[in-house]
C-alpha cells in the first residue's frame, strides 16, 4: 500500500504539471488571439464615464480573464499578466487600450477592494496589475 504522504506528493507534482501546461496553453492562445486587437486603428471616444465606451468594457473583461488564468495556473511569476496585460498593450505597434490607464487602475482597485472571501487568493494578481500598469 502506498504511503499517504507519497501519494500527496505525487498528486502535487501532477497538479504542478497541469498548471504549467495550462499556463503554456494560455500563452499560446493569446499569442494567436492578439488581445486588445479591437482597439487597433480606433479613434478614442472621449467620455466622462469610461463605462460608456464598449471597448473599455472589453478591455476590463480581458484583464479579468487574465487574472483568472493567472489564478488557475498558479502563475506566481506573473508571466501572463506581465506579457499580455502590461507589455503587449503598450508595445510599439500594439493596439493599446481604449481609455487612459488611470481608469483601469481605478476599476481594478475597486474590484480588488470588494473581493469576496473565496476570491481573496486572487488579490495579489489585482495588486500586481494596479502597480505595474504604466501611467501615461
pLDDT digits (tens, 9 = 90+) for 95-116: 899 999 999 999 999 999 999 9
Q: Quick one: pLDDT at residue 52?
A: 82
pTM for this model (two decimals): 0.85
Contact 8, 61 (CB under 8 A): no
pLDDT band at 5 (very low <50, low <70, confident <90, very high): low
CA distance 30 to 69: 11
pLDDT of residue 48: 75
Would the pLDDT of 1 be above 60?
no
Kindly report which listed range (12-16, 23-27, 86-90) carries the lowest average pLDDT score: 12-16
Which band of pLDDT confidence, cut at 50, 70 and 90, is reported for residue 88?
very high
pLDDT digits (tens, 9 = 90+) for 31-67: 999 999 988 887 777 777 887 888 999 999 999 999 9
| pLDDT above 90: percentage of residues in the chain | 62
CA distance linking residue 29 with residue 95, whole number of Å:
17
Q: What is the DSSP string of 17-70?
A: HHHHHHHHHHHHHHHHH-TTGGGTT------SSGGGSHHHHHHHHHHHHHHHHH
Confirm if 108 and 90 have CB atoms less than 8 A apart.
Answer: no
- pLDDT for the residue 50: 81
Chain Cα centroid distance, residue 42: 23
Amino acid at each position: 500500500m502506498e504511503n499517504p504522504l507519497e501519494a500527496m506528493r505525487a498528486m502535487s507534482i501532477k497538479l504542478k504539471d497541469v498548471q504549467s501546461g495550462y499556463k503554456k496553453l494560455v500563452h499560446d492562445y493569446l499569442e494567436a488571439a492578439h488581445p486588445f486587437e479591437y482597439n487597433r486603428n480606433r479613434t478614442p471616444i472621449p467620455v466622462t464615464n469610461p463605462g460608456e465606451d464598449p471597448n473599455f468594457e472589453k478591455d476590463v473583461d480581458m484583464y479579468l480573464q487574465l487574472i483568472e488564468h493567472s489564478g488557475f495556473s498558479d502563475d506566481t511569476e506573473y508571466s501572463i499578466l506581465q506579457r499580455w496585460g502590461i507589455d503587449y498593450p503598450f508595445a510599439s505597434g500594439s493596439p493599446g487600450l481604449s481609455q487612459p490607464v488611470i481608469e483601469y487602475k481605478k476599476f481594478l482597485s475597486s474590484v480588488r477592494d470588494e473581493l469576496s472571501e473565496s476570491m481573496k487568493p486572487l488579490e495579489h494578481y489585482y495588486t500586481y496589475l494596479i502597480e505595474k500598469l504604466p501611467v501615461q
